[in-house]
């Protein structure tokens, strides 16, 4: 049976104009880390780094302070404040609370009376956030990072999702992008993105398996690459399986060894974070040691074989979907031309051995598995931004079957899994009895035969059916699946022409009004948020200087060579002024907004004034303490050079220069013109 090929291409009228100055980016929104990449105007794709030269952004958001913080700073707070620091949020996207089957430290709010099944985390101060909003915070940071490097606005993005994400999870991801201020050109399956990056980089052709194991999701896709066409033949996986499960298994082992039968949230979070670090170390080392500060476990040696014993049963859960995908594609492992590894969890040696034994091929690791998905997304974003990149066609498939409920709670499949997308399909149904003047169309997703075993997506009612004997009415139900695998359902009674349509909005997502409200709230408060962020940064910087000066004063004591009584008095006066300023701006930012000005947007008018005042006080403190700091540094240099030869000192200077060069090499580079 031949498979029709569909060329996925954006209508020209919908493509952003290059003249607008915008650029399209590719985003890998990952469970553990996220990153952004660019491939502008046909150039080779590259991942973008932050100001510290780091390409991977931890997918962690902290709500411990007035303003959310994202990334490394948020991750550093996880053990001390686990309930307000949200990580692995991808595992919650588009899922109801009853489907979350792993331990987490978050407090989930009771379902709302509206009937929405979306999870809401209680993060303090009476505030609730959804996984969609948490993901939007991560996307905002990546968008801002790209705009800062490019010094121009971002027109839109291609965001990758696991191939096995269902409709609810895909819609949740698209909503997060919209809330973050991004036009989402396309949701691209992660294995397809990886194949796109590999195909263009290698110029290869053939049939490839893409094994994608990230922090919280697993996908396997079989793709054919031929003459620039990337066709997905079959896909499978588990959207609730990943490296996080390895971490939890090892963390449980550590807590058992520590004799902790009922760990607190703090103990569990510490064990999980240290387990993740140990797992990463064991990818390249045979053993490592772990010390739990909140549990009685010190210098406990963890070997690679011990880790593999704890995680092997989890790792083997990825193999059955691999075998099914090969069967669905109609090929044997021996017919593959290669196996591509994607996702940070594929660095685990056990995973690489299992993949090689299952597919009978040594896996390809030419491209960093952490970066390959973002690179492929960047290529697709470049195409959809209007770039002429010849010879690229993506042919994706629907990951799960779509159908409707018929009498008896039976599923009638309309679109089968692994059908190429975009696709439309229709089927005619009839009435059950003469009294039936309406029909309920219940849309479901899954591979089971009974509705109760599948995921409910939407319901709509078609009224106005004429009274006809049983089996005489004719109702045509059409399913239309777009390139993002998002569904529109239409039901039409053929005799009267009565018609009803619904764009499927999954039960476990935000309503259109909620998304619109969040988008407008973000736009309305953009200036407030920017001003509040600058103020918070000014407070942090002043606090840093105060802490450093106080520490230096304490260490100097009464040494007259370093500090005269008059200088100490001047510095102490400046410190008192700084303390007073810090105390006056310690009020939460929302209270400052309410009290700084009489009404509305004028409320943040004093923010720049407060920020300027904090900067002025910091500069004054730095100026008055500068002579003392200089003398202290000179004293330290004299002590450091005492007893050393000129050659030794020159060697130290050379080493320092080399260190500076190494640091410089990690600074971000300006894009070429």
DSSP, collapsed to helix, strand or coil, labels residue 187 as: strand
- State both tokens at 100: 């979350």
Cα 324 vs. chain centroid, distance in angstroms? 28
Query: Using an 8 Å Cβ cutoff, are 66 and 416 in contact?
Result: no
Nearest-5° angle of CA 105, CA 164, CA 162?
A: 70
Q: Is the dihedral of CA 29, 35, 41, 42 positive or negative?
A: negative
Q: What is the three-state SS of 624-653?
A: HHHHHHHHHHHHHHHHHHCCCCHHHHHHHH
Query: Using an 8 Å Cβ cutoff, are 216 and 242 in contact?
Result: yes
DSSP, collapsed to helix, strand or coil, labels residue 339 as: strand
| CA–CA dist 328, 416 (Å, integer) | 12
DSSP 603: G
Residue 431: closest CA among 388, 466, 479, 393: 466
Instruction: Write the DSSP string, 247-269.
Output: HHHHHHHHHHHTT-SS--HHHHH
Instruction: List, by residue number, the catalytic residues.
Output: 28, 90, 190, 212
Whether residue 422 has a cis bond before it, omega within 30° of 0: yes
DSSP, collapsed to helix, strand or coil, labels residue 453 as: helix
Q: Estimate the share of the chain in helix, then strand, then coil, as percent rounded to the nearest 5.
A: 45, 25, 35
Question: H helices within 151-283, ranges in order?
Answer: 167-179, 190-202, 243-257, 265-282
DSSP 450: B
| CA–CA dist 341, 358 (Å, integer) | 13
- State both tokens at 661: 């060069």
Query: Using an 8 Å Cβ cutoff, are 33 and 370 in contact?
Result: yes
Query: Using an 8 Å Cβ cutoff, are 96 and 508 in contact?
Result: yes
Torsion angle in degrees (nearest 10) through CA of 546, 547, 548, 550: 80
| CA–CA dist 65, 63 (Å, integer) | 6
Strand (E) or helix (H) holding 491: strand 487-493
| CA–CA dist 186, 29 (Å, integer) | 13
DSSP, collapsed to helix, strand or coil, labels residue 487 as: strand
């Amino acid at each position: 049976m031949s498979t029709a090929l569909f060329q996925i291409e954006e209508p020209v009228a919908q493509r952003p104009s290059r003249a607008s100055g915008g650029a399209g980016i590719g985003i890998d929104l990952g469970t553990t880390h996220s990153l952004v990449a660019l491939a502008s105007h046909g150039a080779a794709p590259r991942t973008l780094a932050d100001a510290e030269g780091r390409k991977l952004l931890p997918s962690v958001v902290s709500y411990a302070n007035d303003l959310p913080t994202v990334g490394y700073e948020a991750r550093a707070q996880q053990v001390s404040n686990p309930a307000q620091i949200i990580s692995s949020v991808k595992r919650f996207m588009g899922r109801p609370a009853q489907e979350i089957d792993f331990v987490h430290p978050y407090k989930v709010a009771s379902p709302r009376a509206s009937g929405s099944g979306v999870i809401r985390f209680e993060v303090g101060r009476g505030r609730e956030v959804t996984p969609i909003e948490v993901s939007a915070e991560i996307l905002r940071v990546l968008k801002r990072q790209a705009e800062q490097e490019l010094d121009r606005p971002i027109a839109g993005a291609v965001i990758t999702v696991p191939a096995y994400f269902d409709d609810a999870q895909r819609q949740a991801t698209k909503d997060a992008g919209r809330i973050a201020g991004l036009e989402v050109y396309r949701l691209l399956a992660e294995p397809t993105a990886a194949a796109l990056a590999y195909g263009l980089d290698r110029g290869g052709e053939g049939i490839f398996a893409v094994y994608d194991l990230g922090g919280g999701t697993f996908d396997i896709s079989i793709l054919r690459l031929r003459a620039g066409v990337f066709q997905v033949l079959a896909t499978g996986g588990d959207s609730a399986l990943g490296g996080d499960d390895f971490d939890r298994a090892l963390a449980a082992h550590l807590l058992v060894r520590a004799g902790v039968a009922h760990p607190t949230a703090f103990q569990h979070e510490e064990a999980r974070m240290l387990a993740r670090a140990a797992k990463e170390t064991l990818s390249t080392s045979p053993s490592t040691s772990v010390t739990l500060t909140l549990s009685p476990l010190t210098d406990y040696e963890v070997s690679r074989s011990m880790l593999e014993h704890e995680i092997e049963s989890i790792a083997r859960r990825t193999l059955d979907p691999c075998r099914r995908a090969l069967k669905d594609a109609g090929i044997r492992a021996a017919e593959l031309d290669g196996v591509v590894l994607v996702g940070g969890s594929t660095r685990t040696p056990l995973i690489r051995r299992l993949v090689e034994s299952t597919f009978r091929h040594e896996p390809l690791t030419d491209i960093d598995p952490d970066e390959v998905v973002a690179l492929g997304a960047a290529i697709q974003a470049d195409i959809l931004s209007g770039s002429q990149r010849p010879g690229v066609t993506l042919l994706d498939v629907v990951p799960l079957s779509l159908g409707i409920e018929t009498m008896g709670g039976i599923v009638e499949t309309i679109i089968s899994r692994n059908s190429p997308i975009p696709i439309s399909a229709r089927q005619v149904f009839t009435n059950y009895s003469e009294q039936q003047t309406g029909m309920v169309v219940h849309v479901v997703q899954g591979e089971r035969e009974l509705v109760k075993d599948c995921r409910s997506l939407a319901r709509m009612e078609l009224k106005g059916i004429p009274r006809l004997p049983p089996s005489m009415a004719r109702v045509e139900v059409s399913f239309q699946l777009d390139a993002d695998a998002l569904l529109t359902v239409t039901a039409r009674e053929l005799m009267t022409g009565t018609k009803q349509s619904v764009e499927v909005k999954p039960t476990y997502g935000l309503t259109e009004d909620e998304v619109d409200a969040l988008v407008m709230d973000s736009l309305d408060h953009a200036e407030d948020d920017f001003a509040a962020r600058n103020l918070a940064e000014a407070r942090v910087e002043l606090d840093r200087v105060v802490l450093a000066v106080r520490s230096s004063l304490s260490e100097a004591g009464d040494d007259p060579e370093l500090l005269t009584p008059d200088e100490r008095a001047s510095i102490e006066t400046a410190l008192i002024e700084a303390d007073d300023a810090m105390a006056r701006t310690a009020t939460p930012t929302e209270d400052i907004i309410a009290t700084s000005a009489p009404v509305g947007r004028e409320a943040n008018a004093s923010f720049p004034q407060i920020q300027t005042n904090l900067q002025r006080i910091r500069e004054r403190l730095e100026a008055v303490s500068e002579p003392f700091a200089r003398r202290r540094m000179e004293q330290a240099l004299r002590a450091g050079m005492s007893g050393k030869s000129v050659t030794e000192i020159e060697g130290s200077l050379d080493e320092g220069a080399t260190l500076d060069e190494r640091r410089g090499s990690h600074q971000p580079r300006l894009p070429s013109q």
